[in-house]
């Protein structure tokens, strides 16, 4: 019996000859990632047990991005813990405000994660790097602390679920719509503790940015990872990085817990309605949903292609009076690209704001908290009750094109309506 991509990568990071789903393994990690919310707990545990030196200062990554730039004293203290630890341990990959970005966009951009690698991060959206053909998964802060010590982690080998996308994508439809459609079909627990594997003709033509969006939201179906077989598009993306990588693909005899196959030729932009990412409807089915705020950004859709799509629709237009448009590029590199290309100017002239990179409003942190009764449409990844502020607020999720079009009309709108 053959192996899936997930099983092959996990096996390669153990000393074992064979592994199977459901088995617990001790695996070597290539990268251990923490942010300003989760890493302080890991650092506290590391120090509490008397450890003085991390296993490898080059394989730990610390990114203060959730409440950074610090919104208050408590968040400033959290960031300071990371800063002090990075200095003490001489950690190479520490990214302070000014050189930081939203972690799950920053690491691929810098080549810190490559195909075939095993990455753990104390953040649920660590699954993003599966788009590169890496096995990446979220863990708790104590697991991260253990990895700081010896570079290893205990993991349960997940079963895999295959998703085959046939047909072709219509204009204004991308990776965000594919993953929203998938979550809508299988539910928030439809891939519980599984590795989702995305494949088929549509995926093979999908850009890296679209792939990142898909893998990023695998966790919203309960999955441990969301993998895409690396190919020529992957090769082109990583070609500028001078590190060795390994491309894995599933064996033809690999076993899957379930296989889904869809023709997405007629798929239109998808919108997740309050209060679950699985409460998905096509944009045309949503009429007269009045909006108070639009957020374009996040680790799901804050990349340069997302900003280009949004700016194309907003160029020469004004956002609806009374509506707040918040645009947050995912990294400083993307920020500079948006400025050089004139995208930032388009957003500002339309009546929006253009922010330094931060997770900000995605998790109800800062830079756009919702008041009671307010309704937001965001390109982020979660819309749970209270996710962006008041428990009596409402969050819809969409792709950047729908978000930009909706900013102009003040209601959820198909881009073709502009």
In this structure, the answer to whether residues 306 and 234 fall within a common structural domain is: no
Percent of the chain with pLDDT over 70: 100
Domain membership flag for residue 386: yes
List beta partners, residue 353: 326
Distance between CA atoms of 62 and 69, rounded to whole angstroms?
A: 15
Q: How confident is the model at residue 122 (pLDDT cuts 50, 70, 90)?
A: very high
Close Cβ partners of 82 (under 8 Å, ≥ 6 residues apart)? 34, 36, 39, 40, 43, 62, 64, 94
* Amino acid 237: pLDDT: 97
Q: Which of 218, 235, 262 is the last residue of a domain?
A: 262
**Which burial class, exposed, middle or buried, applies to 372 when counting CB atoms under 10 A from its CB (0-12, 13-18, 19+)?**
exposed
Domain membership flag for residue 406: yes
In this structure, the answer to whether residues 181 and 320 fall within a common structural domain is: no
* Amino acid 100: pLDDT: 87
Task: Count Cβ atoms below 10 Å from residue 251 Cβ, excluding itself.
Answer: 14
The domain that holds 169 is classified in CATH as 3.30.499.10
* Amino acid 204: pLDDT: 97
Q: How confident is the model at residue 418 (pLDDT cuts 50, 70, 90)?
A: confident
The yes-or-no verdict on residue 1 having pLDDT over 90 is: no
Q: Could you give phi then psi for residue 216, rounded to 5 degrees?
A: -55, -40
* CA 69 to chain CA mean position, Å: 20
Q: Could you give phi then psi for residue 248, rounded to 5 degrees?
A: -110, 150
Average pLDDT over residues 357-379: 95
CA-wise closest residue to 142 among 27, 29, 44, 222: 44
In this structure, the answer to whether residues 199 and 346 fall within a common structural domain is: no
The verdict on pTM exceeding 0.75 is yes
Distance between CA atoms of 192 and 375, rounded to whole angstroms?
A: 29
| Assigned token pair, 116 | 């075939």
- Name the most confidently modeled range: 63-72, 267-276, 356-365: 267-276
The yes-or-no verdict on residue 298 having pLDDT over 90 is: yes
The yes-or-no verdict on residue 92 having pLDDT over 90 is: yes
Residue by residue, DSSP assigns 29-89 as -SEEEEETTTHHHHHHHHHHTT--S-S-TTSEEEE--SSTTT-SHHHHHHHHHHHHHHHHH
Domain membership flag for residue 292: yes
In this structure, the answer to whether residues 253 and 118 fall within a common structural domain is: yes
The yes-or-no verdict on residue 279 having pLDDT over 90 is: yes
Q: How confident is the model at residue 97 (pLDDT cuts 50, 70, 90)?
A: confident
List beta partners, residue 326: 295, 353
In this structure, the answer to whether residues 203 and 69 fall within a common structural domain is: yes
Q: Which of 197, 228, 262 is the last residue of a domain?
A: 262
**pLDDT tens sequence across 329-367:** 999 999 999 999 999 999 999 999 999 999 999 999 999
Domain membership flag for residue 32: yes
Domain membership flag for residue 418: no
CA-wise closest residue to 155 among 114, 183, 121, 185: 121
Domain membership flag for residue 141: yes
CA-wise closest residue to 329 among 305, 348, 293, 350: 305
Domain membership flag for residue 298: yes
**376-400 residues labelled b (16+ CB within 10 A) or e (exposed):** bbbbbbbbeeebbbeeebbbbbbbb
Distance between CA atoms of 273 and 377, rounded to whole angstroms?
A: 9
**pLDDT tens sequence across 234-251:** 999 999 998 999 999 999
Q: Which of 246, 262, 278 is the last residue of a domain?
A: 262
* Amino acid 239: pLDDT: 95
DSSP 150: H
Mean of pLDDT over the chain: 96
Average pLDDT over residues 389-411: 97
Coil vs helix vs strand at 325:
strand
In this structure, the answer to whether residues 210 and 337 fall within a common structural domain is: no
In this structure, the answer to whether residues 255 and 300 fall within a common structural domain is: no
Distance between CA atoms of 15 and 325, rounded to whole angstroms?
A: 51
DSSP 370: B
* Amino acid 306: pLDDT: 98
Distance between CA atoms of 190 and 415, rounded to whole angstroms?
A: 30
In this structure, the answer to whether residues 283 and 221 fall within a common structural domain is: no
Close Cβ partners of 44 (under 8 Å, ≥ 6 residues apart)? none
| Assigned token pair, 380 | 């982020």
Average pLDDT over residues 254-275: 97
The yes-or-no verdict on residue 22 having pLDDT over 90 is: yes
**Residue 276 to residues 24, 48, 285, 349, 395: CA-CA distances in angstroms?**
31, 38, 17, 33, 9
Distance between CA atoms of 70 and 66, rounded to whole angstroms?
A: 9
In this structure, the answer to whether residues 283 and 145 fall within a common structural domain is: no
Average pLDDT over residues 204-230: 98
Structural domain including 338 reads 270-413
Average pLDDT over residues 219-240: 97
The yes-or-no verdict on residue 315 having pLDDT over 90 is: yes
Average pLDDT over residues 68-82: 94
Average pLDDT over residues 364-371: 93
* Amino acid 398: pLDDT: 98
> How many domains, in total, are found in the chain?
2
Q: Could you give phi then psi for residue 147, rounded to 5 degrees?
A: -65, -35
Close Cβ partners of 403 (under 8 Å, ≥ 6 residues apart)? 294, 295, 296, 310, 377, 378, 379
Contact 103, 121 (CB under 8 A): yes
| Assigned token pair, 310 | 């949004």
Close Cβ partners of 87 (under 8 Å, ≥ 6 residues apart)? none
In this structure, the answer to whether residues 217 and 286 fall within a common structural domain is: no
In this structure, the answer to whether residues 293 and 336 fall within a common structural domain is: yes
Q: Could you give phi then psi for residue 223, rounded to 5 degrees?
A: -75, 155
In this structure, the answer to whether residues 196 and 275 fall within a common structural domain is: no
């Amino acid at each position: 019996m053959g192996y899936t991509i997930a099983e092959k990568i996990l096996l390669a990071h153990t000393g074992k000859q064979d592994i199977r789903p459901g088995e617990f393994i001790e695996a070597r990690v290539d990268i251990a990632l923490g942010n300003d919310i989760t890493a302080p707990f890991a650092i506290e545990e590391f120090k509490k047990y008397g450890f003085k030196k991390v296993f490898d200062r080059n394989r730990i990554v610390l990114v203060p991005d959730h409440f950074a730039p610090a919104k208050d004293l408590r968040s400033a203290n959290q960031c300071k813990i990371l800063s002090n630890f990075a200095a003490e341990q001489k950690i190479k990959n520490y990214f302070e405000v000014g050189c930081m970005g939203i972690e799950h966009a920053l690491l691929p951009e810098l080549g810190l994660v490559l195909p075939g690698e095993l990455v753990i991060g104390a953040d649920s959206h660590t699954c993003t790097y599966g788009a590169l053909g890496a096995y990446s998964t979220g863990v708790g802060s104590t697991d991260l602390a253990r990895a700081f010590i010896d570079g290893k982690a205990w993991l349960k080998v997940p079963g895999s679920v295959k998703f085959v996308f046939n047909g072709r994508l219509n204009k204004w439809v991308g990776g965000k719509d594919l993953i929203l459609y998938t979550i809508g079909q299988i539910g928030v627990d439809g891939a519980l503790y599984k590795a989702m594997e995305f494949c088929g003709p549509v995926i093979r033509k999908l850009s890296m940015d679209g792939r990142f969006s898909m893998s990023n939201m695998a966790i919203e179906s309960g999955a441990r990872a969301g993998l895409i077989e690396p190919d020529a598009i992957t090769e082109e993306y990583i070609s500028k990085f001078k590190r060795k990588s390994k491309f894995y693909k599933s064996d033809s005899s690999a076993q899957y817990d379930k296989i889904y196959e869809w023709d997405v030729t007629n798929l239109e932009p998808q919108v997740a309605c309050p209060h679950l990412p699985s409460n998905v409807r096509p944009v045309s089915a949503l009429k007269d949903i009045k909006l108070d705020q639009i957020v374009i950004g996040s680790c799901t859709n804050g990349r340069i292609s997302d900003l280009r799509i949004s700016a194309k629709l907003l160029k020469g237009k004004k956002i609806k009076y009374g509506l707040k448009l918040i645009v947050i590029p995912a990294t400083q590199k993307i920020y500079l690209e948006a400025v050089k290309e004139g995208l930032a100017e388009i957003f500002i002239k339309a009546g929006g704001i253009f922010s330094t990179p931060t997770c900000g409003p995605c998790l109800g942190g800062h830079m756009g908290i919702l008041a009671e009764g307010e309704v937001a449409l965001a390109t982020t990844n979660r819309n749970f009750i209270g996710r962006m502020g008041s428990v009596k607020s409402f969050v819809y999720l969409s792709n950047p094109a729908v978000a930009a079009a909706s900013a102009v009309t003040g209601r959820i709108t198909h881009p073709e309506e502009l």
